[in-house]
Amino acid sequence: MMEVRKKYLKNKKMAKKKIKKTVKKVVKKVLDSTELDEKIVAEYKENKSMYDMILCYINCYGGYILAVGAGCTFGVNLWVGLGLLAVTAGWAYWNVCKCKPCKGGETGSCCKN
């Protein structure tokens, strides 16, 4: 009986060592993957004005794309078309006057700097 118990405890210790090694490998992989995040952040900071311009155009004109999608979808499925139309209305409501012409009273593109 004692030998069986010793064998069990020995196997248990071995299992714990394997688990620790596996955990260390996983943690190391996760920490090494942060380099990718740093590269993405560095790329964004390098081209910040371009990305901000893209986001501005999406913010200003994305509602139009949704409206066209809603119009095209009405022929296929009325409920999906209505859903897209509701999203378009919400987009228009929450994005009114976030573009520069609304704020400054200028005419032209909302994303001019």
Q: Which tokens is 92 given?
A: 């228009």
In this predicted model, what pLDDT tens digit does every residue of 98-109 receive, in sequence order? 555 544 445 555
* pLDDT score at 86: 92
Element (H, E) at 25: helix 2-46
Q: What is the pLDDT of residue 108?
A: 52
User: What is residue 87's DSSP assignment?
Assistant: H
Kindly tell me if the per-residue pLDDT of 82 is higher than 90: yes
CA distances from 24 to 15, 28, 52, 95 (A): 14, 6, 39, 47
28-71 pLDDT tens trace: 776 666 666 777 778 778 888 888 888 878 877 888 888 898 99
Write the CA distances from 112 to 54, 84, 87, integer angstroms.
12, 28, 26
